[in-house]
Structure 1
């Protein structure tokens, strides 16, 4: 792949630090699972010209456009912004961020992974009462875990299996990473299929944060949880999060119901939504930014088909959509929530 630095004056062409750029997002630290192990890169000079930090990169005909900044902090933040850079030259921007911006240029901290990456963890548990002998059986543990490290080039949609050889009675789980298209950001989709394909669950959110799907089935007495954390370099510019909009669609796909919730961004907020429109109990939880984590949104649906509880969570800025479909009962639910601002 040919990556060139499309500079605009001769003095910039002489600088050896300019390489194609990538979208890196400063990373908010997140609970386990974590981004794959960091590496370090040699220190290089900062592209500082005539009192400005500046860059412009092209890759395969895609141009970030010329960017000028008066502070290094703004320069580093811009390198990690896909939307600002027309979704161009991601690999080069990641390399430049690692060279120039990690721990103020000392390269003493964690760097971004050039191969757009994610980590998925699937936890499953048998919630039924068990005898002592059953608990001691090493071939049938109560709890199991599968971890999948994902390295993705970011250029085309890819689907990755998570379950591996884990017992299929908990279902089959996959994680799909969808490439950014123009102004549309890159997207992650967790898919879980259970009961021999009768029940399917999808959780959709823009990449750049941690997304979670938890399914508890009281009939089978099994709990399945999938957690996928994608590199924070995928993050898009932050929206105004003070107004949250949720849309619910049930079996009748021709009709939908909206609900808007105001939020002060500082207090944990819990609200029962669609109380008069949906037979299931739906709870929305909004969680303020804390401990390096962005503002979070959680949806909980109880008594789905009478015996299932669903919980899903993601960054509020990246949005969240949950889909449930049952071929056995005919249930079909689509619930989406996100910042009301466009």
Structure 2
């Protein structure tokens, strides 16, 4: 309670009691956050006894860097007798914003260290490379790349499932080497496609949505099996993973898995465009120091191509197509 006869105080008394400047009190009053109880005969602002507590709450909320609009919403709900929903939403929103800002700062820090650590004559090119990537980086360019690479009629659910494993999420606390790998990956997917046709493997072209779904569902299973073989350190070889890989293509083309089909498939895959560089950079973006690279769809695909080549060269028929697959790596 203020000492005046009517229990009210002036703007100066309120500022002194709350430990803020008169300018701050006037700012909050002008924006409707701190209502006046009345005005004196001389037109001076007068505040009630609850103004100190309200002003302290405003300062606390602003101290968390909440915008004035959020502070107003919280105060309005408090006036209505409920602060939980607005306060929780405001804090969650601020936490999300701060998280994004911190990720951006960590990314910029690693990018600056990357530029600083390279030889002076390489710094301009390195700076242009990493400067083309936003902080924190967006994966939108990688998604666009794959949407151009995948079959046009592939079902949205199948596309989404593939993108989840094919598009690496940038680390929240990257090392300079991961910043470089992601920047190189961004440059790789944003460069123009070569040739007159679409940037899409001819072996992946399908007649319709159903065939596309069959192909990529089968490939996903084969890649998973091949990834298990790779984690165990096994060399490419015929087996369940390769059988599933070949069967995915055979089912799409409406044929059977035969030695002749394997030879045809081996030659066709060898002639298709390759994006090994994409998968190499993806592994670098995701990798931790000293860890063996985690299998990706690309490295699993390479393993299966080598397995197909080994199968063709050891008795499935003429082995030249298998050797072509190996040589193209």
Task: Report the TM-score, using the length of structure 2 for normalisation.
Answer: 0.23
Of structures 1 and 2, the larger Rg is shown by: 2
More strand by share: 1
Relative to total residues, which structure has the larger helix share, 1 or 2?
2
